[in-house]
Structure 1
Amino acid sequence: MSSTSRVRWTIAPAIAPRPLINCNRCGDIKPYRCSEKFRVNANGKRIDVWLIYRCLSCDNSWNFTILERRNRHDIEPARLAALESNDPALARRFAFDAAALRNRAGRVEESPDVTVRKELLNGEPGQADALALELRLEGTTPLRLDRLLGGELGLSRSRLQALDDRRRLTVEPDGAKALRKPVRDGLAVRIDLTGEADCRAILSAACR
């Protein structure tokens, strides 16, 4: 009887998106990195907050607006304290919001580098002959699904495509051509490894 090893991968971008800004020092469009520092400006009861970015070439600054002309009393005290103390987790949350950054800066440079945390949900890899992956994404990434699977499972993209062509690899909900698309939160990938000589190695790689 066939059995399935079910694994959850939590994928996080390793490098924060970088806005492409027309640097007035360099005289050209340059990528800016997040400094993980906030600038908080109080004018009476009104608060303005920016996340500071720096040009990779000359260190010129650019401010990403977080709060604008907000009444101090409308901001949770804990949130305001985190902003004033440059809380790293809060800075990271804003820095990895590619959609908000793109809305403000226009163009954004995203890195395909990610970290993957793996959690075995059920099924013994040493006894299974199928793999069911549940993908969770912490932030957006341009990394294609075939590159993610290939790198983590030790499979070539041509072999992944062959499995897909033979309907031994399925992706929901994207379906057709999903391998060539960027990884999305909530994807479910199933690979039937029945009869594959390296079945155990693949299942082991999926969990570690």
Structure 2
Amino acid sequence: MFSTLLIHWTITPATAPQPLINCNRCSGVKAYRSSGKFRVNANGKRIDVWLIYRCVDCDNSWNFGIFERCNRRDIEPALLQALESNDPALARRHAFDIVALRNQVGRVEAFADVAVRKRLVGGARQTATALELQLGLDMPTSLRLDRLLAGELGISRSRLQALEERRLLAVDPDGAKALRKPARQGVTIRIDLAGEPDREAIIRAAGG
């Protein structure tokens, strides 16, 4: 009989993606990183807002467009205040918007380093023979699911694949080939550890 340990992982990417831009000072394509500062330009009733980026080598600036020729009345007062005060959480959210970055510059370098907070949701450690890991992401990440699991559980990616092939590991809702895809919000991983000799070590590593 299975006794399942339910654990929630909150995954926080550590490094924001960096657009690759032709720097006119360096005379070549360079990575730019977010300064965490917004530029707000008001012209009558119209407002333009950019998140300022800096070249990693020479500090040259590039503006990532957030609002362009937007009517002031269309921006909530609290949001406008956050932009004008360089709210760190708001700047971070835009800096991690890799889809919007790619739409503006095309080439973006993504990073896979993350921090993982683990919280026991239910079940008993002593009797657990299976794990159910529920993933929550603060921001999107390019880190593959198999690399995440291998690093956090202390087992190899080949073993994860073997567990999947033996139907002892299942990923919902992605299913087949999910281990090779980036970790995503709302994904659940179920692992049957009943016959594994290092069951207790894996459970401890998972946060149990």
TM-score bucket of the superposed structures, by smaller chain: over 0.9
Deviations 1:18-71 (A, max 9, x none): 111111111111110000000111112221110000011111000001111122
Q: Which residue of 1 aligns with 2:157?
A: 157
Deviations 1:155-198 (A, max 9, x none): 11121122112111111222222212211222111100002121
Q: Which amino acid aligns with 2:86?
A: N
Q: Which residue of 1 aligns with 2:66?
A: 66
Return 5+ residue gaps in structure 1 as ranges: none
Q: Which residue of 2 aligns with 1:27?
A: 27
Q: Which residue of 2 aligns with 1:189?
A: 189
Q: How far 1:10 sits from its partner (Å)?
A: 1.6
Q: Which residue of 2 aligns with 1:99?
A: 99
Q: Which amino acid aligns with 2:177?
A: K
Q: Which residue of 2 aligns with 1:56?
A: 56
Q: Which residue of 2 aligns with 1:3?
A: 3
Query: Is 1:89 aligned to residue 92 of structure 2?
Result: no
Secondary structure of 1:140's match?
A: coil
Q: How far 1:6 sits from its partner (Å)?
A: 0.8
Q: Which residue of 2 aligns with 1:141?
A: 141
What is the TM-score normalised by the length of structure 1?
0.96
Q: Which residue of 2 aligns with 1:46?
A: 46
Provide runs of 4+ in structure 1 moved above 2 Å. none
Secondary structure of 2:2's match?
A: coil
CA RMSD of aligned residues (A): 1.2
Query: Is 1:109 aligned to residue 146 of structure 2?
Result: no
Secondary structure of 1:21's match?
A: strand
Q: How far 1:148 sits from its partner (Å)?
A: 0.2
Q: Which amino acid aligns with 2:104?
A: R
Q: Calculate percent identity across the aligned residue pairs.
A: 68
Q: Which amino acid aligns with 1:103?
A: N
Number of residue-to-residue matches in the alignment: 208
Secondary structure of 2:19's match?
A: strand
